[in-house]
Chain A
């Protein structure tokens, strides 16, 4: 914390003088703008358009998640990253990943920011910097999804659900939903054996594996 160096300091209207005033912290931030966060986020997939934002608030005003998650504000997320305010961004880590990807923000942004993708990139930044003690549910889901795509070429929604509950340690909920699974199988929406598989897929599987490994992270 910066220490006041000026000969006089006014706190709440009272002028303080004397040696002891040197211990009073400045109430003004010194050199608060730090581009490092901005630069890092812009290198992540989807983050490219971040710096175009002019903070108009069109995205936040219409945002789907804003009324549901206190403090969920795409405009502000962008602002904080741009200011380099890591502490504030970190404090919002449990909100940011909840973006529903509804694209309303990108749809309306007057400044050609791909806002939804930028919010995704900020989430990726938080993941990369190890803010989350364990992977967010969204991350687990994405990984299961990409595993299925990589291995089989297609996904199977019901199986994805099973795996998700197992991976996030909620086998209990899975059991609760077994009823639904049975119903679905009877209706033929979920195949019992084999499931969705693409025939000509070996080559693609190799390529996707390689790409994901190169992209790093748990994905």
Chain B
């Protein structure tokens, strides 16, 4: 049977579904939420780094391709059981109305990531002080066109962005880098300075890591053209003094610890495997690595294949990455699944 079920309707899953259709296969797409687009849509991403293109434009195009290409879309649905193997899977899918069964010759898991919950690190005051927010929340505000302090509804005058919250941190058992936080922070700082030229924006970092094509250039732009201040020191603690937040951090190049008042503190939160990714890994018996993400058959030689025949994986279920790379993996997984069904391996 030449039918593939794609689990997860974010950039990786959307791309996989569209590519499979272009190869002439039947595709069902199962998405937990009520809309397609994944985290970028649910969390209302504003502009995408590094080109500063509206997320809507990019993700919208991916969604549209799927809708136009005759992909059978199941919204508000989760896969709860799987039977069979080889090229004959039966998936039980739970939706608001009840259960249904989907047949599949191959499965692509693209269940994505979720942001680190910074209340696990109470030293940053998230959940205690309203003006401490996550990078995802800031993104939502930028999308809505107004950035304000949750405490009083006013535009903040001085903002600190703290890097690597819930990334590169043995204390929370997440040693890996989120790979996008540095470019996202640079982008958000640029957006803030563009929108509010009087706002002071500081980024506290350990190293600036700008992996993708054009990422480094955006980081330069933040420094060169937008006067964003980069302070080399990991933020250690946020307290409140009256109406202000006090950030404790060391400017390590100066060897001076400081307490700096800010109106708003943004935590650039890391990525972890989503609940869906954990659930699918255990449902399909896929190994997960020490970082919690799905381990592919071979990171270099078979990066979107898994140990289970007929089960492929793509996107942030495999680890942190940007939208470009996630979509690329979706396409790769589509190709692998098609080849598998055509009798290849």
Given A66-B257, A75-B252, A112-B170, A61-B206 contact (CB < 8 Å): no
Contact B170 A108 (CB under 8 A): no
A60-B254 Cα distance, complex, nearest whole Å: 12
Q: How far does the Cβ of A172 sit from chain B's closest Cβ, in whole Å?
A: 36
Instruction: Check if B184 is an interface residue, CB within 8 A of chain A.
Output: no
A112 to B251, alpha carbons, bound, how many Å?
21
Binary contact track B228-240/A, C-beta < 8 Å → 1, others 0: 0000111111000
A interface majority secondary structure:
loop
Flag if A61 contacts B168 (CB, 8 Å): no
**Contact indicator per residue, chain A 26-60, by CB within 8 Å of chain B (1) or not (0):** 00000000000000000000000000001111111
B301 proximal to A (CB < 8 A): no
**In chain A between 163 and 211, which residues have their CB closer than 8 angstroms to a CB of chain B?**
none
Chain A: minimal CB distance from B211 (Å): 18
Closest-CB distance, B174 to chain A (whole angstroms): 9
The answer to whether the Cβ of A115 comes within 8 Å of any Cβ in the partner chain is: no
Instruction: Enumerate B161-178 residues with CB–CB distance to A below 8 Å.
Output: 164, 168-171
CA distance A54 to B207 in the complex (A): 10
How many interface residues does A have (CB within 8 Å)?
A: 20
Q: Which of chain A's residues has its CB closest to B206's CB?
A: A56
Chain B residue at minimal CB-CB distance from A62 = B236
A62–B237 touching, CB < 8 Å: yes
* Of B234, B235, B236, B255, the contact of A76 (CB 8 Å cutoff): B255
Residues of A within 8 A of B258 (CB): 61
- For A54, give its contact among B123, B206, B250, B257 (CB under 8 Å): B206
Q: Give every chain B residue within 8 A of A21 (Cβ-Cβ).
A: none
Interface contact B237-A111, CB-CB below 8 Å: no
| Most chain A CB neighbours (cut-off 10 Å) among B123, B170, B250, B252 | B250
B193 CB within 8 Å of chain A:
no
A53-80 CB mask vs B (1 if < 8 Å, else 0) is 0111111111100110000010110000
Bits for B214-243, please: 1 = Cβ < 8 Å to A, else 0: 000000000000000000111111000000
Q: Which residue of B lies closest to A72 (CB)?
A: B257
CB nearest to A52 among chain B residues: B170
Q: List 23 A-B contacts (CB under 8 A).
A: A54-B206, A55-B252, A57-B232, A57-B234, A57-B236, A57-B250, A57-B251, A57-B252, A59-B236, A60-B252, A60-B255, A61-B233, A61-B237, A61-B258, A62-B123, A62-B248, A63-B257, A73-B250, A73-B255, A75-B252, A108-B171, A108-B236, A110-B171
6 other contacts beyond A57-B249, A62-B248, with CB at 8 A cut-off? A57-B250, A60-B255, A61-B234, A61-B257, A62-B123, A109-B171
- Chain A residues near B (Cβ < 8 Å): 54-63, 66-67, 73, 75-76, 108-112
User: 3 shortest A-B CB distances, which residue pairs?
Assistant: A57-B250, A61-B236, A57-B233
